Amino acid sequence: MSTGTTTTTTPLRKAAVILMSLPEEDAADLMGRMSPKQVELVCIEIAQIDKLGGVEQESAILSFAEQNPNQLSETGGGIGLAKSLVTKALGKGASETLDNVRQTVESIPFGFLRKVDSQNILTFISEEHPQTIALILSHLPSGYGAEIIAGLPADRQLSVIRRIANMGQTNPEVIEEVEAGLEARMSSVMSQSFENAGGVPTVAEILNVTDRGTERTLLENLAQEDPDLVEEIRRLMFVFDDVQKLNDKDIQSVLKNVEASQWALSLKGGSQDFIDRITSNMSKRAGEMLMEEMDFLGAVKVSDVESMQQQIVDIIRRLEDAGEITLTAGDEEEQLIQ
């Protein structure tokens, strides 16, 4: 995993990335076809993204996958772009949506740090108590968190990650106190409120964009104290959709350990590209039988599909632990030594 890269983890962020990557007029045209609420949500996401690197653009825009990521330049987001897009998309009806976007963005705790270089943030917070660092990182994009974690000593890395994982809702007075102190030290005048942050999903997001060595060391050390917590983190770090990112050899290894009936249920409702990725690694007859079985299942419960998908993810994790396959997060390609 490349340090400092923010992974596209939600459909909302993917939509924001794609809109930011388009010419402004084209993006506004697309947004004009959305409901005002959809425009509001995606513009809030755009407003929270300061800079967007080529790696994340390529990940989000699948139609550009054949291009060299260096051809995609850094793109700027921010409240200015969000306001411009809302105005062009909604015209006279933009006022209320603009107010909602601005109020939401301005209410994000530690939002002023999103325009500060991660190394500068590290300088200010590296000597803070691990709980304080955990609180701050829980409110920052995962890319920032990964860079800051990487800059901490190993023992403090573990302490911070453990506290983020176990963090739930934080007293707003505590957040305000920490934020006010940091604002004063960094000469910021913005004031923020609180939100729920932290927890296992935040740890998974940070580790997904942390270098592989740091990730493995943290999880191995944490497993000695709380193996159940590590398993919960690992479940969130590799999701079922990531199966299609595996190379053909690893997909074939997975196929040997997963029954056709399991694939049939897990792929219900999946994209045709995903289904083709799996069947292309089967014999023609096996692929045809899988498609027939999927049709035979008819309508199924979403909960049943998600449960089966998780079972397959668990199998994949066991194969990785046994050294039979290699997982890489995001779009990372492992380098080869000649």
Architecture of domain 112-225: Orthogonal Bundle (1.10)
Q: What is the pLDDT of residue 204?
A: 81
**How confident is the model at residue 206, as a pLDDT?**
82
Residue ranges of the chain whose pLDDT lies below 70:
1-10, 50-108, 111-112, 114-115, 187-197, 208-209, 212, 328-338
Give the three-class secondary structure for 141. Answer: coil
Judge whether 327 and 246 are in contact, CB under 8 Å: yes
CA–CA distance, 186 with 113 (Å, rounded to integer): 9
Q: What is the pLDDT of residues 281-292, one digit of tens each?
A: 999 999 999 999
Residue matched to tokens 């390609």 = 333
**Separation between Cα atoms, residue 143 and residue 147, nearest integer Å:** 6
Question: What is the model's pLDDT at position 207?
Answer: 80
Question: Cα-atom radius of gyration of the chain, to the nearest Å?
Answer: 22
Helix axes 154-165, 130-137, angle to 10 degrees: 60
pTM over 0.85: no
**CA 217 and chain centroid, separation:** 21
Q: What is the domain partition of the chain in residue ranges?
A: 11-106, 112-225, 238-321
How many other CB atoms are there within 10 angstroms of residue 63's CB atom? 7
Residue 10 DSSP class: S
E-strand spans in 42-163? 51-52, 75-76
- 195: phi then psi, degrees, rounded to nearest 5: -155, 165
Three-class SS of residue 14?
helix
Q: Are 15 and 45 in contact (CB under 8 A)?
A: yes
Predicted local distance difference test score (pLDDT) of residue 173:
82
First to last CA, the chain: 21
From the number of C-beta atoms within 10 Å of its C-beta (0-12, 13-18, 19+), residue 215 rates as buried
Residue 314 burial (CB count, 10 A)? 14
What is d(CA 143, CA 291) in angstroms, rounded to the nearest whole number?
39
CATH architecture of the domain with range 238-321: Orthogonal Bundle (1.10)
Phi, psi of 214 (to 5 degrees): -65, -40
Same fold, 112-225 and 238-321: yes
